[in-house]
Structure 1
Amino acid sequence: MNAPLGVILAGGQATRMGGGDKGLLLLGQTRIIDHVIARLAPQCDGLVLNANGDPARFAALGLPVAPDGMADFPGPLAGVLAGLDHAATTGHSHIVTAAADTPFLPCDLVPQLQLAGGDAGLALAASPGGRQPTFGLWPVALRGPLRQALTDGIRKVVQFTRAHDAGTATFPDDAAFFNVNTPDDLATARAMT
């Protein structure tokens, strides 16, 4: 399988952080999203950012921005669909998704997901703490079924992927998927760097 397009999911509303873009918060001397890009980019054939609102706020990243195609912030599945739609225009057969607020994501995320994806080419990450549903390998061929599922009201990643025989790539360390949701999480992440 060729290297997938990487899709960084930043389309949420960050309500627990008080709004704004969590990925743009500083972690050390660089933004959280810079850590995500540094870990994900070498594993992928290009990156795109899934984000809603004014894309100009991400201009300094130099990445294409793909907003959700559905209204009312229906969650990460809408971001996955935006990434799949973008990948269809660039000729990629698969995307890999990662959250914009997870600065310690695994440096072997893509190869492990590809191994777990098998023939279907669909897999989610997991760690000892449980599933990590915003980290996944997704075939572009699932665009139609995913669009229909969202139209039908499906919002849970695991509910959709279970119906499509997703594999699971289990990683040994929960810290790799630590995400910054609150000010306390940001302090913890700063202590981890």
Structure 2
Amino acid sequence: MGHQNAPIGAVLAGGLGRRLGGGKAVVELHGRPLLSYPVGVLQATLGEVAVVAKEGTELPELPGVEVWTEPQEPQHPLTGIVHALDSAGDRAVLVAAGDLPFLTQALVRCVATADAHGRPAVVPRAGGQLQPLLARYEPAARAPLAHQLDGVSRPLTELVAALEPHVLELDDEEAFFNVNLPEDLLTATAMMDRTDPSAR
């Protein structure tokens, strides 16, 4: 796709991964750092990718990828999204969680190129749930989202729904599988073992 008008990819690695028992971004899945999966897909599809992380987050080597250091507080994914919009200037950002090993180029392309119909964000819905951690945020989303940062405690899904985004109905739930717990890593490994890696 033409990179000039393409959104910048922003992979959120702000999570400390406590439930995984260590640095989530460097946890290995099939011999690769977990973070390298979404980063690789966004690089291949969009060209420009940054990783958004809190200072001191352990990150793997990711050649050609900028790191945007988000504020330490609040510890909420909204912090990373607002910081990505700040850092992207007047470009849209395509945000992806750092723990999406089954993200596909087709899905990223679909979200990146969808008509927002004048709305400030394009957010997929899969499995009956909004997926704000794989979504495109236009510069217009920054002010209303930043306004919610102060003392934020509500779930991200609720905050993003308040933007009245353009919703993409998708049926590919596997692409949104995320790794939070040690057993998720086992599930993801089994899923990879039964899929042809060359088709990814």
TM-score category, normalised to shorter length: 0.7 to 0.9
Structure 2: runs of 5 or more not aligned: 193-200
Structure 1: runs of 5 or more not aligned: none
Paired position in structure 2 for 1:3: 6
Q: Please state how far the C-alpha of 1:141 moved relative to its aligned partner.
A: 2.7
Name the one with the larger helix percent.
Answer: 1
Give the conservation status (yes or no) of the 8 Å contact 2:33–2:60.
no
> Cα RMSD (Å) of the superposition?
2.2
Matched AA of 1:112: C
Q: Please state how far the C-alpha of 1:129 moved relative to its aligned partner.
A: 4.7
Paired position in structure 2 for 1:84: 85
Matched AA of 1:6: G
Paired position in structure 2 for 1:98: 96
SS at match of 1:54: coil
Paired position in structure 1 for 2:26: 24
Paired position in structure 2 for 1:44: 46
TM-score between the two structures when normalised by the length of structure 1: 0.86
Paired position in structure 2 for 1:157: 156
Paired position in structure 2 for 1:65: 67
Matched AA of 2:97: A
> Any runs of at least 4 consecutive aligned residues in structure 1 with deviations exceeding 6 A, and if so which?
none
Answer yes or no: is 1:146 the counterpart of 2:145. yes
Matched AA of 2:68: A
Aligned residues: 187
The 1-side partners of 2:17 and 2:93 are apart by 24
